[in-house]
Chain A
Amino acid sequence: MNNYLLYFAIAIGLFVFAALFTLFGVYAERKVSAFIQDRLGPTEVGKFGLLQTFADFLKMLQKELIIPAAADKWLFMAAPAIIFVAVYLGFAALPWGPGLVPAHINLGLYYVLAIISVETLGILMAGWGSNNKYSILGAMRSAAQIISYEIPAGFALISVVMIAQSLDLQVISSQQGVTAQETIKFLGFWDVTHIGGILSWNIFRAPHLLIAFVIYFIASLAESNRAPFDIPEAESELVAGFHTEFTGLRFAFVFLAEYSMMFLVSMVAIVVFVGSWNTPLPNVGSVRLADWTTGPGWGIFWIAMKTLLLVAAQMWIRWTLPRFRVDQLMNLCWKVLTPLSFLCMLISGIWRVWLM
């Protein structure tokens, strides 16, 4: 019985976290964009406009839920829930600290990749169900984009999995610090098993993994439909893309999904490439910085910090780079990222066989 209560508590906790992150994320996005454009952003509601997104949410709650007359009612109503739940379920397998993971699945990475691609289904349902040309165009673009970019993202992750020899996110995490059970080498020549810190992160474990990380990061921007890959919601051409017709709480869910997705893909990148919940501080001689800053509490702190930094980078990129055209987008994916990620996977195989 207590077990089930714990499950519910964890599920609710994750939902609350996703909701709070969305509130904070939208505020941060607005402030970052404002500062980049020499504006002030929200300033009126609360100190520094901190309660602005909360006020927006309250407004959204009171809005009428409109279903267009010609819409496919069931698809239209179910879509926001499916879009959000797909992302939300992804959080279940992500580790937060040593021994601290909502669901310890030994195929964790595979599960995350599989479950977040369900989002495409929700987006297609939203686009088709709305019975609106902008929505369907946005949904088609989104589906094409997400499916295309899953290939380089997947192969970039596989090149790490081949080195780490596990799909278990906790195993991948613990290899990137002083908790490693095996010998970890910095760039394949320097044994850093007991030094840990930034030196034993996966991006430094082999030089090509740094490229794999960049590939994954670019692909993850596309998967979460963020600029410069936001053609599914391209405001200047498609109004708002697949969520044009949504109002009130349903629109809030689409938003929640978008920001949760940002956090999720960043967290996957952190877990797989950038040391997961491990500290960036290495042991230096008798100053055991890495040993002192490793633990469940520290784990949550480090992974949250690193993920938020990556989310900040996503926002920074969004407000800098212009949107890709559809053909440029597909060009980048199929002609640049996919061959490069294949190459990374190949080097991983060679690395594993000959250098480890």
Chain B
Amino acid sequence: MKSGVIKGFTTAWQGLTLTLKHLFAPKAKRQVQTVAADNYFKKLEEGTNTIQYPKQQLPVPEVGRYQLDVEMDDCIVCDLCAKICPVDCITIESIKATEAIGQTSDGTTKRLYAAKFDIDMAKCMYCGLCTIVCPTECITMTNQYDRTVPLLDMLNYKFSDMSPEEAARHREAFDKQQAERAAAKLAAQQNKGGQA
């Protein structure tokens, strides 16, 4: 029992001196630097570790693994991202165009309108698969991780700004073109039949 008591006191005292050292250690505010910095962990020993969050922020890479962003001008509405998404958080509605509607910045021709391009960030699991499959690299993960919304619905980001009227017009134009082509085809067939 005697040695136990002595051991108890000595070990408790060791712990107490350790905490006392920290209690009176320098209280320098933390200098925020990126984790990649050479002396990142060494710096943590020198002062307090608290990051005063809204005032100080840990630097993250510009293409971090946080919220998704879509550059709609570069999107060819191929639907690959929606297909690969494990949690189905991307919803895309495409409308075929009557002709080539432009080019993306990497030179791919755009032939589809995006009537709807929604990403539900409340469902997203931040796996980044969509950014990998994207042929034009228009869907990226950003360094934005702090987003608070008053309504759950507001986490459903809508990237396409096409109005329903505009979508209807495009649909109509495509249907019209299809109808014209079908009519032309029919006429051509009849012409052929007549000649034969």
Contacts and interface: CB of A to CB of B under 8 A. Distances in A.
B25 A38 contact: yes
A65 interface: no
Contact of B23 (A43, A316, A317, A321): A316
B20 A38 contact: no
Interface string B100-134: 00000000000000000000000000000000000
A87 to B, nearest CB: 27
Nearest to A228: B12
B52 A316 contact: no
B15 interface: yes
B50 interface: yes
Contacts, number: 46
Given A35-B22, A35-B23, A336-B1, A317 B16 contact: yes
Contacts of A317: 16
A40 B56 CA distance: 14
B152 interface: no
A138 to B, nearest CB: 25
Which of B19, B20, B47, B52 has the most A CB atoms < 10 Å from its CB? B19
A336 B49 contact: no
Contact of A39 (B4, B18, B20, B50): B50
A38 B50 CA distance: 8
Contacts of B15: 320-321
Contacts of A336: 1, 4-5
Contacts of A36: 19, 22-23
Interface residues of A, number: 16
Contacts of B91: none
A233 B64 CA distance: 41
Interface residues of B, number: 21
A38 B48 contact: yes
A35 B27 CA distance: 8
A43 B44 CA distance: 19
Contact of B18 (A43, A320, A335): A320
A298 to B, nearest CB: 28
Contact of B52 (A34, A43, A319, A321): A43
For A316, A319, A320, A321, which residue has the most chain B Cβ atoms within 10 angstroms?
A320
A320 B19 contact: yes
Interface of B: 1, 4-5, 12, 15-16, 18-20, 22-25, 27, 29, 44, 47-50, 52
29 contacts: A34-B50, A35-B22, A35-B23, A35-B24, A35-B25, A35-B27, A35-B48, A38-B25, A38-B44, A38-B47, A38-B48, A38-B49, A39-B48, A39-B49, A39-B50, A40-B27, A40-B29, A43-B52, A316-B16, A316-B23, A320-B12, A320-B15, A320-B19, A321-B12, A321-B15, A321-B16, A336-B1, A336-B4, A336-B5
The 5 tightest CB contacts between A and B, nearest first, are A40-B50, A320-B19, A36-B19, A320-B15, A39-B50
Given A35-B22, A40-B50, 14 more contacts: A32-B23, A34-B50, A35-B25, A35-B48, A38-B22, A38-B44, A38-B48, A40-B52, A316-B16, A316-B19, A316-B20, A319-B19, A335-B1, A336-B4
